[in-house]
Amino acid sequence: MINIEDIKKAQTRIEDFIYKTPLIRLPLEEEVFAKAENFQKTNSFKIRGAFNFLSSLNPQERAKGVTAPSSGNHAQALACAANHFGIPAAIAIPHNAPAIKVAATKAWGAEVKRCGGSTAERRAAAQYFVDSRGYHYVPPFDHEFTIAGQGTIGLEIFAEMPDLENVLVPTGGGGLLAGVALAIKSLNNNVKVYGVEPELAADATESYKKGRRILWPAEKTTATMADGVRTQQVGELNFEIIQKHVDGFFTATESEILEAAKYYLHKAKIMLEPTGALSLAAYLANKSQIKGKTVLIISGGNFSPEFLEQLF
């Protein structure tokens, strides 16, 4: 099982490659800060896990090339990391992924294979490159290397704000939530860590409540504008960590996500993708339950022009 030492090793491994993103005080009456991972090298937190994963492979494994399924942000992250190491990358991206994420993935030099939106279709498309070319499969969330890389966000938050009381984390497959929760709880078990999902893709929330992983149908999860968390089921290893270290979940409606994104743009002057607005959406709807100094993780900022039009 992954532990805090794995996350600290990941931090050392990736520190010269990723950006240490800022904590930004939001213009709210309460003490609320945003961890702006939309300012990251590929405009999302995913670069942390991808780079840690590739750095953890031996040279022979890495040289074979890498592949993964992704809705866009992991695709860009893996493409960027592969470019750094000078190795080939081929990514399976659903047909309904934002065009801007596909273009950015190609710009880093990766090959893109379009596929259906279900988990099975994504994995099958990526498996093609494993079977036909011998590429190494890099899970987008359900792996110790990935979780440890995402957990470095928790180390950064705590180092800058050791007196924080709450952290809200956007949740899809659960790699970010598992890593941050493990890091934060290992440093101060009194800090409350919450996962946040759209109501239309709340499989992790239901899984947490029922104590077992629940699979949601693809046609349901793909309905949310928060394309970064359209995962149908939380990862197995991630869920084990989440059950142990997470204090609860909040969900957000589509209108709440949109209003949070508008707030970020018009009040805080921060531009982000719908998934990145999840934590603020949940905070504004549930702040009577969230007391004290709070950090909201902005997971990414790879927005589409169509989404930008909705913010005015």
Q: Hey, which residues are catalytic here?
A: 46, 299
Q: At which residue do the structure tokens 């018009």 appear? A: 266
64 vs 34: CA distance, rounded Å = 38
Q: At which residue do the structure tokens 């492979």 appear? A: 57
- Per-position DSSP letters for 78-100, written without gaps between them: HHHHHHHHT--EEEEEETTS-HH
Cα angle 250-255-257, degrees, rounded to a multiple of 5: 55
126 vs 92: CA distance, rounded Å = 5
59-85 in b/e burial notation, b at 16+ Cβ within 10 A?
eeebeebbbbbbbbbbbbbbbbbbebe
250 vs 29: CA distance, rounded Å = 21
SS3 16: coil
